[in-house]
């Protein structure tokens, strides 16, 4: 039930606090939360609910601890008046905006964020602009201390996704609908700012837009020119630049948008006080008529020809000037208005997220040094986002972590939080992963690798030392560190014997790593009962000696433990705080290792995991089952022993992210799902489309549950997704050798 709002002066008129505007570098660090409320058919998706911020007012205190003093924050029409424009519920916003004031954080109030308004309107509703202006007036009246507004976020991008590509409501697929939805939003911005300034005369418009650029082969230059003119339309309308000489004037007229409508913008120029540029790695495109060179999902067409539309960073071409600095410079050259980067986010591994943030930050610094009036960089998606890999059109619960990892309760600060705190307070940040450039600069980015030698490395990058060169886990770390641009040394026993303190000291002195990963140890669980001394020496003593060496050097250390530190009698999956209770020698050696490592180096990271399977080795249960079933051999698997299988690539990626984040203590990393060995075999065979008639379930004995779950955060994806990826990855490797 939505109630009438309190009077506008309800506890909301405290004195305005002067806030620091910039870091010592001259660029301010702003923050932002992914807050889209998108309508898809009759379903509204709310990112604040999906990332959990809607229920966590304490998130604001965590943001304040980063040193952020300006925050893009939602005061969204769809959430305040969802059923009727005259019915408003301000309760949630009152509490949070009051908390922001107490924390000395100035909000940039967003009124519509990739939305089409509440259910009773749409982007094709001629009343939409006036109704949003009424909402804007209510917001300004209720919170007169707010001085910066974004009435509509990214109107051009929203018009493309809602009116041209059909992704979001009203699901249009024509240029006419695209232009109509764009004009509706821009008119709403003008009227909203007029309404706000009647109450707050000095209110500023912070107008955001994703500003990419399109490049092409010569044969598609006409299409690239068309898209490059289109990308400026929102700012051109607001800046009263769309007249009869504008290259898109005729397109507006043909879309049924007459001179009177366009004249409104000529007569009511609404120049942004700050142009907010949102730039992503996918924002810049390259068009190529040779579709066969590119994946099918990048195939596109216009009314003249078919072509591929791909990320420009994946193409080797000489004439392009790509990247955030080039796009910001273009906006400055065109408008000459103050600017900010209003979203800096990259949905990738933690190292790549850090590299992208720093590239954007350094671009802003370089432009400011040249005299460009650029005020801030906004570290975006503070609490991550959900399903943006499908533009919200599929509900897969695909989570991209941000500055905080909202899979943990409370949300866990990642390495981006350390970066944000440093940039906000000193304007500088360093981390060993920044010794390498992001994947968008490395040779592996290309769809077709250019001829000639790869680019040379400069300097001596800091490295991770990985112990365990011959094992499944060590090999996987080396492979994925290489893919992520993380420099490493993969050390065999001859390079560093982890059971020998002198060997460890010599190896660390020689390689000078910034972190150590212990992927070595005794792994033969069944033989451990006959080789107890060796098992303890390699699993417990070795792990402890490495921990002591890392403690002396003050460097991060990660080691691995097992689900077998538990006896399986609890009857449920184990969490990190459950008391260890091993029954065998192997589990006892891992339990001893955990205790000794914690004593030797309290900042160490201990990963408990379970039941490896992966595409790069043949010595795992899933591979063996599929091989035997394919050959028609009988396979017996227990239906009583319940485990949490772990896909090795997921484990390594999750562990590396935690290492980079500076996480410590015991973490459980296993794919989400509790299955018996028989059920695991059945799921894998079905995913691989292999006959399961030779698979036999053995149900003898008492049920035993050694599965792992986590009270700290479910970092790895669900098991069924991991099995599907294993089948695809293994098949691809078999084809390519």
DSSP per residue over 183-249, as a string? HHHHHHHHHHHHHHHHHSTT-EEEEEEE---EEE-GGGHHHHHHHHHHTTHHHHHHTT--STTSTTH
Classify residue 36 by its DSSP letter: -
Structure tokens given for 46 = 């709310």
Position 320 scores a pLDDT of: 57
- Sign of the Cα torsion 213, 218, 220, 222 reads positive
Position 406 scores a pLDDT of: 98
What is the per-residue pLDDT across 14-26, written as a single tens digit (0 to 9) for each? 333 343 445 666 9
What is the per-residue pLDDT across 451-487, written as a single tens digit (0 to 9) for each? 665 544 557 899 999 999 999 999 999 999 999 999 9
481 C-beta neighbours (distance < 10 Å), count: 21
Tell me which of 6-15, 125-134, 200-209 is least confident.
6-15
Q: What is the mean pLDDT of residues 682-688?
A: 97
pLDDT over 60 (residue 13): no
Q: Which pTM does this prediction carry? A: 0.93
Q: Determine whether 509 is exposed, middle or buried from the number of CB atoms within 10 Å of its CB (0-12, 13-18, 19+).
A: exposed
Q: How far apart, in Å, are the Cα atoms of 373 and each of 25, 369, 510, 558, 649?
A: 14, 9, 47, 44, 44
Distance separating alpha carbons of residues 623 and 613, to the nearest angstrom: 8
pLDDT band with cut points at 50, 70 and 90 for residue 539: very high
Position 456 scores a pLDDT of: 47
Tell me which of 231-235, 316-320, 342-346, 380-384 is least confident.
316-320
pLDDT band with cut points at 50, 70 and 90 for residue 449: confident
Residue labelled with tokens 């590119």: 294
Q: What share of the chain is helix, strand, coil (3-state, %, to 5)?
A: 40, 20, 40
> What does the CA dihedral 317, 318, 323, 329 come to, rounded to 10 degrees?
-140
What is the number of helices (H) and of strands (E) in the chain? 23, 31
pLDDT band with cut points at 50, 70 and 90 for residue 450: confident
What is the per-residue pLDDT across 119-169, written as a single tens digit (0 to 9) for each? 999 999 999 999 999 999 999 999 999 999 999 999 999 999 999 999 999
Of 307, 335, 488, 586, which one is the catalytic site residue?
A: 586
On average, the pLDDT of the chain sits at 94
Position 588 scores a pLDDT of: 98
Instruction: Say whether 165 is catalytic.
Output: no
Position 699 scores a pLDDT of: 80
Position 457 scores a pLDDT of: 54
- Sign of the Cα torsion 423, 426, 428, 432 reads negative
Q: Which of 493, 499, 500 is nearest to 474 (CA)?
A: 493
Structure tokens given for 56 = 């966590």
What is the per-residue pLDDT across 517-526, written as a single tens digit (0 to 9) for each? 999 999 999 9
What is the per-residue pLDDT across 77-91, written as a single tens digit (0 to 9) for each? 999 999 999 999 999
Residue labelled with tokens 């969490």: 575
What is the per-residue pLDDT across 614-624, written as a single tens digit (0 to 9) for each? 999 888 999 99
Element housing 379 (H / E):
strand 374-379
Classify residue 18 by its DSSP letter: P
**Terminal-to-terminal C-alpha distance of the chain:** 61
Q: Which residues contact 530 (CB under 8 A, 6 or more apart)?
A: none
What is the per-residue pLDDT across 316-347, written as a single tens digit (0 to 9) for each? 876 558 999 999 999 999 999 999 999 999 99
| Chain length of the chain | 737
pLDDT over 80 (residue 268): yes
Distance separating alpha carbons of residues 550 and 651, to the nearest angstrom: 23
Q: Which residues contact 342 (CB under 8 A, 6 or more apart)?
A: 30, 32, 72, 150, 206, 208, 276, 277, 278, 378, 380
What is the per-residue pLDDT across 708-723, written as a single tens digit (0 to 9) for each? 999 999 999 999 999 9
Q: What is the mean pLDDT of residues 220-227?
A: 96
Q: Which residues contact 282 (CB under 8 A, 6 or more apart)?
A: 212, 311
Structure tokens given for 721 = 């997704």
Residue percentage of the chain with pLDDT more than 70: 95
Domains of the chain with CATH codes: 28-444 (3.20.20.80), 458-736 (3.40.50.720)
Whether cis (ω within 30° of 0) applies to the bond prior to 43 is no
Distance separating alpha carbons of residues 664 and 658, to the nearest angstrom: 8
Are 659 and 719 within 8 A, CB to CB? Answer: no
Q: What is the mean pLDDT of residues 89-99?
A: 98
């Amino acid at each position: 039930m939505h109630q009438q709002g309190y009077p506008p002066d309800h506890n909301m008129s405290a004195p305005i606090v002067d806030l620091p505007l910039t870091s010592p570098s001259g660029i301010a660090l702003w923050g932002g939360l992914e807050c889209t409320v998108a309508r898809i058919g009759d379903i509204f998706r709310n990112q604040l609910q999906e990332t959990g911020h809607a229920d966590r007012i304490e998130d604001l205190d965590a943001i304040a601890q980063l040193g952020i003093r300006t925050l893009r924050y939602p005061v969204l029409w769809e959430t305040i008046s969802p059923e009727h424009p005259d019915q408003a519920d301000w309760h949630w916003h009152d509490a949070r905006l009051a908390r922001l004031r107490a924390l000395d954080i100035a909000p940039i109030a967003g009124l519509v964020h990739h939305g089409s308004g509440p259910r009773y309107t749409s982007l094709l509703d001629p009343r939409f602009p006036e109704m949003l202006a009424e909402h804007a007036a209510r917001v300004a009246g209720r919170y007169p201390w707010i001085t910066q507004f974004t009435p509509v976020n990214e109107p051009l991008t929203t018009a493309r996704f809602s009116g041209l590509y059909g992704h979001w409501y009203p699901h249009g697929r024509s240029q006419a609908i695209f232009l109509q939805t764009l004009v509706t939003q821009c008119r709403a911005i003008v009227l909203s700012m007029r309404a706000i300034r009647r109450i707050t005369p000095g209110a500023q418009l912070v107008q955001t837009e994703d500003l990419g650029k399109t490049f092409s082969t010569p044969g598609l230059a006409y299409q690239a020119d068309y898209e490059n003119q289109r990308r400026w339309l929102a700012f051109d309308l607001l800046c009263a630049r769309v007249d009869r000489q504008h290259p898109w004037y005729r397109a507006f007229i043909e879309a049924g948008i007459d001179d009177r409508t366009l004249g409104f913008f000529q007569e009511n120029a609404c120049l942004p006080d700050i142009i907010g540029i949102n730039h992503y790695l996918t924002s810049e495109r390259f068009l190529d008529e040779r579709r066969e060179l590119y994946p099918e999902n990048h195939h596109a067409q216009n009314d003249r020809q078919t072509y591929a539309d791909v990320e420009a960073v994946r193409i080797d071409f000489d004439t392009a000037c790509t990247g955030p600095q080039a796009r910001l410079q273009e906006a400055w050259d065109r408008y000459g208005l103050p600017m900010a980067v209003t979203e800096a986010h990259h949905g990738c591994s933690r190292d790549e997220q850090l590299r992208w943030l720093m590239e954007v930050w350094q671009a802003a610094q370089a432009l400011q040094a040249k005299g460009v009036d650029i005020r801030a960089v906004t570290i975006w998606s503070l609490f991550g986002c959900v399903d943006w890999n499908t533009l919200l059109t599929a509900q897969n619960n695909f989570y991209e972590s941000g500055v905080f990892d909202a899979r943990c309760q409370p949300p866990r600060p990642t390495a981006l939080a350390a970066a944000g705190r440093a940039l906000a307070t000193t304007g500088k940040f360093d981390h060993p992963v920044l010794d390498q450039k992001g994947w968008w600069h490395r040779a592996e980015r290309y769809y077709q690798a250019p001829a000639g030698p790869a680019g040379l490395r400069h300097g001596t990058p800091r490295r991770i030392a990985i112990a365990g060169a011959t094992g499944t886990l060590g090999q996987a770390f080396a492979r994925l560190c290489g893919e992520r641009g993380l420099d490493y040394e993969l050390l065999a026993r001859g390079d560093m014997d982890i059971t020998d303190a002198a060997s460890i000291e010599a190896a660390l002195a020689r390689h000078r790593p910034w972190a150590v990963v212990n992927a070595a140890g005794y792994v033969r669980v069944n033989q451990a009962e006959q080789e107890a001394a060796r098992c303890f020496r390699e699993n417990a003593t070795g792990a402890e000696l490495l921990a002591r060496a890392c403690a002396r050097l003050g460097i991060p250390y990660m080691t691995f433990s097992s689900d077998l530190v538990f006896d399986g009698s609890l009857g449920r999956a184990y969490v990190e705080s459950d008391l260890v209770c091993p029954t065998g020698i192997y589990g006892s050696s891992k339990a001893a290792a955990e205790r000794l490592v914690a004593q030797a180096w309290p900042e160490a990271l201990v990963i408990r995991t379970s039941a490896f399977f992966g595409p790069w080795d043949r010595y795992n249960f899933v591979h063996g089952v599929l091989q035997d079933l394919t050959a028609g051999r009988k396979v017996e698997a227990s239906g009583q022993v319940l485990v949490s299988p772990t896909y090795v690539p997921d484990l390594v990626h999750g562990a590396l992210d935690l290492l980079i984040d500076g996480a410590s203590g015991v973490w459980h990393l296993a794919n989400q799902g509790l299955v018996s060995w028989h059920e695991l075999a059945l799921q894998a065979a079905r995913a691989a489309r292999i006959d399961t008639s030779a698979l036999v379930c053995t149900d003898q004995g008492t049920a035993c549950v050694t599965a792992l779950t986590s009270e700290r955060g479910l970092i790895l994806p669900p098991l069924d997704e991991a099995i599907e990826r294993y089948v695809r990855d293994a098949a691809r490797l078999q084809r390519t050798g």
